[in-house]
Amino acid sequence: MSQFSREDNDYMARAIELAKEGLYTTHPNPRVGCVLVKNGEIIGEGFHLKTGEGHAEVNALKAAAGKARGATAYVTLEPCSHQGRTPPCAEGLIAAGINRVVAAMEDPNPLVAGRGHRLLQQAGVDTSWGLLESDARALNPGFIKRMSTGLPFVRIKQAMSLDGRTAMASGESQWITGSTARGDVQLLRASSSAILTGIGTVVQDNPAMTIRPEQLPLANAAELCNRQPLRVIMDSSLQISPAAKILQPPGKAVIFYRHADESKVQQLNQSNVTLVQLAELAPITVLKWLAEQRECNELLIEAGAKLSGAFTQAGLVDEWIIYIAPKLLGSQARPLFHLPGIEQMSQQIALQQVDLKTLGEDIRICYQPASSPTPDSPQPERPVAESNSSQRKEC
């Protein structure tokens, strides 16, 4: 294994911080940062911002302004070696005269998968990887999972009272959590490729499920809202109204259904709505379609107890983000998950806590499956938000 110096660690840590600049914008590409160092000084920095625009290495080389020959490149992901929407970065580093490349991790993309490193080595570039790898992996849980399994990284977001309830029996749910929690959910949405819900939530709450600039505690909030996550609805018989907020711009929507009258199909035939008919409306089928057809890296589920429970029991959830408010709603209120068939302790679904934060008067706890290895658990950093109101299924 390569031995890395303290300086190597410092420069890679800087590259990882740069990569976070693309946390909300790089979909479907990974978040990547790059630092160029020569004679102990940083001569160029870069990060990937948007698909189709310059990769981190290209932007760092531009910042170096022709001074890169003989420099070391610290990059959070193996430089690409294939022609995609942009030219291969490995070739760009070689042409610039970089003599050493340190990567945090190999690229899980089968089109790269070690080829970038081999190309660099064949050109005589000193190449190593594995520095701060767990931190680098945490930048891109969705991209890594989609490339390695063909499925997106799935998060379930729920807000509940202290007694584990998400809404009154009537469905009334505004508001359980406070303003800071609502802003935090907006950040979750902004970092997601898609948001999924069920027809029950749509009928009950009529949510828009969009990113709202006034609720994002970020300087470039308005710019971020130019990229709305894909909104996904599971609706077996197309009960949804064409006027539902979730189908309206900004952003696009996909509806998965099993059967419906042709007249209803025609009503929903809107330019920003895609209808997908499936023989069986199974969670795994929906996830595969989203990964293959929409390059979905990170899916956020904002749904009721039944749909959230179905994805959980199918073993398809990578992370549960639970907001807990200091309130009691009573035994008649609605539960967090519907999990039929669990009758004995041996059937329990075990989770492990990976993060806990206080958000105003509320608490946010992040869980992952108990079998997940904690050190390498993909957990992108999410800044705590400040906002003015809140709700159970953020609309």
The pair of structure tokens assigned to 328 is 């009691």
Q: How many CB atoms lie within 10 A of CB 97?
A: 13
> Are the C-beta atoms of 149 and 318 separated by less than 8 Å?
no
Q: Which two tokens stand for residue 367?
A: 């869980």
Q: Please give the Cα distance from 19 to 246 (Å, whole number).
A: 31
Q: Which helix (H) or strand (E) holds 29?
A: none
Nearest C-alpha neighbor of 236 from the set 260, 265, 205 = 260
Q: Which two tokens stand for residue 183?
A: 């802003």
Looking up tokens 């035939």 gives 269
Q: What whole-number distance in Å separates Cα of residue 65 and Cα of residue 258?
A: 56
Structure tokens at 393: 């299924």
Distance (Å, whole) CA 178 – CA 180: 6
Determine the distance from the C-alpha atom of residue 79 to the mean position of all C-alpha atoms in its chain, rounded to a whole number: 22
| Catalytic residue status for 57 | yes
In angstroms, the CA 6 to CA 162 distance is: 45
Of 297, 287, 299, 227, the residue nearest 28 (C-alpha)? 297
The one catalytic residue in 45, 57, 302, 394 is: 57
Q: Cβ-count burial of 289 within 10 angstroms (0-12 exposed, 13-18 middle, 19+ buried)? A: middle
> How far are the Cα atoms of 19, 203, 221, 288, 388 from residue 302, in angstroms, in the given order?
27, 14, 21, 19, 20
Q: Report the distance separating Cα 20 and Cα 191, nearest Å.
A: 11
Q: Which candidate, 227, 232, 229, 228, places its Cα nearest to that of 275? A: 232
Q: What is the CA radius of gyration of the chain?
A: 22
Task: Give the catalytic positions in this structure.
Answer: 57
